[in-house]
Chains A and B, each alone.
Chain A
Amino acid sequence: EAGVTQFPSHSVIEKGQTVTLRCDPISGHDNLYWYRRVMGKEIKFLLHFVKESKQDESGMPNNRFLAERTGGTYSTLKVQPAELEDSGVYFCASSPQGAKRGGYTFGSGTRLTVV
């Protein structure tokens, strides 16, 4: 079974540019999550999709961040325009419907550097 795939693995962009991160969950997993770890800080929850619907987006930092999940399959997280404080590692995770707490599979993350 393929795991959760994220790409790119690294991205370096200039302040003010746009970046789109992609996450391919495990096939058939209804739940998809985005998390972010800013350097030296906690991994923070950003949002949760159930299929194509946003179940909880309370962790999205501001309106420069836009997440979509077309057809309930892969998801994208767009940052537009990027700011220096957006630098960090963005993790995606997925789990099947009815998964027990903690039953997530995480991707290896996208390291975003805004310069």
Chain B
Amino acid sequence: GDSVTQMEGPVTLSEEAFLTINCTYTATGYPSLFWYVQYPGEGLQLLLKATKADDKGSNKGFEATYRKETTSFHLEKGSVQVSDSAVYFCALSVSGGADGLTFGKGTHLIIQP
């Protein structure tokens, strides 16, 4: 079946550090890939997505590139801020339309000032 594996946290970094959160996947079809973020006390929010190989999703300084050859979608940010502290979830969807997502376990990111 489909699955997503992401590095488990917590990941603790200092402000302005470089961030990488690894995500790899297995899928029965051709998936779309997503990163969701959950800030404290809030719901899951779509951070970025990519729908085909070599696409780069970006938002709020975060980037992730769809790498089909390595089945990866690693999340990166050049300089993190305290406000980036949250739980980040990598996810995929192989069905068309509005079908369900397959999530990773989530990575808790803590940014210290």
Residues of chain A touching chain B, judged by Cβ–Cβ distance below 8 Å, are 3-4, 31, 33, 35, 37, 40-45, 48, 56, 59, 91, 93, 95, 97-99, 101-109
Q: Which of B44, B91, B98, B102 contacts A91 (CB 8 A)?
A: B44
Inter-subunit contact A102/B99 (CB<8 Å): no
Residues of chain B touching chain A, judged by Cβ–Cβ distance below 8 Å, are 4, 32, 34, 36, 41-46, 49, 51, 89, 91, 93, 95-106
Contacts of B41 in A (CB 8 A): 108
Q: Which of B34, B46, B95, B100 contacts A59 (CB 8 A)?
A: B100
Q: Give 28 pairs: A residue, B residue, CB < 8 Å, sorted on A.
A: A4-B43, A31-B98, A35-B100, A35-B101, A40-B105, A41-B105, A42-B103, A42-B105, A43-B44, A43-B91, A43-B101, A43-B103, A45-B101, A101-B32, A101-B34, A101-B49, A101-B51, A101-B97, A101-B99, A102-B34, A103-B98, A104-B46, A104-B101, A105-B43, A106-B44, A106-B45, A107-B43, A108-B41
Q: Which of A31, A43, A104, A109 contacts B106 (CB 8 A)?
A: A43
Contacts of B44 in A (CB 8 A): 43, 91, 93, 106
